[in-house]
Structure 1
Amino acid sequence: MTSSRIHPSAVIAADATLGAGVQVGAYAVIGAGVEIGDNTRIGAHCTIEGPTRIGRDNVFHGHAAIGGEPQDKKYRGERVELEIGDGNVIREFVTINRGTGDGGGITRIGHRNWILAYSHIAHDCRVGDDCVFSNNATLAGHVTVGNNVILSGFAGVHQFCRIGDHAFIGMGAFVNGDVPPFLMIAQEKYARPRGINAEGLKRRGFDGERIAAIKRAYRALYMGDAKLDEAKAELAEIASGSDDVRAFLDFIEAGERPLLR
């Protein structure tokens, strides 16, 4: 714990490992089997339970509860883990649980994500890089979220669903199927597609040609009367000239749950 700054009221397990420059605030609890990388800041009253590995340059704001046991009745105390990458911002009262033995044993969060207040990431989830979870966004168990995904406030995702890269989930949307890359999802009774996330793609450097191909793919899948197999055949044609549409089609082909359509 060389060069770390630890508040005297913090409780740190004897076998916890803290990198250089780590800061731990008042009344925080760092449990057994926790590893924290350089220059990470742990706010007041945070709880981090292990086994949990946290990378460098993360910020955990007050009262976050990280690495707790999975909320799964099948859990019987087996060794399960949480892994968090670098440069994430975890705001107040966020909860992130470890994995389950039957679900792969680990929950993984990537790099540079913003997880805002009261969000919940359940057991065995996989979250990529550069995502934003607005306040009260919730993932059930075994959800996979790609890169550059935005979940708006109070959005919820059903267990085992997948959210593809660059998708935008609108406020209060309840997602109960797989969401292909690039889509915008909005709420009716349940979440439904509402076009592609064109503005987000522009901000990330997608040019007009790439966006046009993605729009064609969206129309093929969502705006006609074609059955899914027919739509996939049209997507395959478009994918011959677009890596983005190829990723869109590959996502669909890999799914085990029904497609949100």
Structure 2
Amino acid sequence: MQLAGLTQQITEIARQAGAFIRQERLSFSSEHIEYKDVNNLVSYVDKEAEKQIVEALHTLLPEAGFITEEGTTGQNADRTGLNWIIDPLDGTANFIHNLPVFSVSIGLADGKTPIAGVVYDINRDECYHAFTGGGAWCLRNGAVDERIAVSPATRLHESMIATGFPYSSMDRIERYLAILASLMKRTHGLRRMGSAAIDLAYVACGRFEAYYEFNLNSWDMAAGVLLVREAGGIVTDFNGGDEFLFRGDVLAGCAMQPELLAVIEEYWNNEGALPIL
């Protein structure tokens, strides 16, 4: 399998799906919304984009399985083999509310290890792509392909941090809020974009110094974590390990990542350390 050529083809597939999503946004209305839960939304756009992506990727690499957000393939993928891990529209709530922060995320993993990934920031027409050993790149406006790198920041107090808010698992919300409160006092600021894939891409290109979140799915991060690593960054789970892809908690950042990890570890597994908020 030739990853360089494969990644170029994934990039084009992501951009085509993004063009479809961008066009559908022009005529989208609230009657097209379906509710998985009150704050977990889906539309025909997600499903149709996923079908288009799956069809193209199956032709590209027939032996790979699929792990997808909308489940349009009906497959139960073997996590030990090659799998496409896809979020056809990461940031659906933003899309529905016409907030221009949503993306296409396509990752290829060998077991729990991403080996190729593309995140297409649809509204900025920035297509971030990487494969193992090839560095991380950003194709802007379909024309200029530039190598990207994480921020040179080395300390937490120099950093802008991205995160997300949990919408279903509330059993550790107090610990999450304690981390937020601590970081508000130690950083340049915290941002919540609403698309994990874009957050990770922005860490890879140096717009954010780090990103952390828990209760994620593999399709939220499969492409983005590879971008960060290939851009020179560090990616771990909340215990400092390598189980993030299917465990659901991830911390990705530049050289200051270990300092941020120490803050998370202080509160995440230590209920006695929680401050009074």
Please classify the TM superposition score into its range, dividing by the shorter chain length: under 0.3
**What is the TM-score normalised by the length of structure 2?**
0.26
Q: Which has the larger radius of gyration?
A: 1
**What is the TM-score normalised by the length of structure 1?**
0.27
Per residue, is there more helix in 1 or in 2? Answer: 2
Structure with the bigger RCO (C-alpha within 8 Å, sep 6+) is: 2
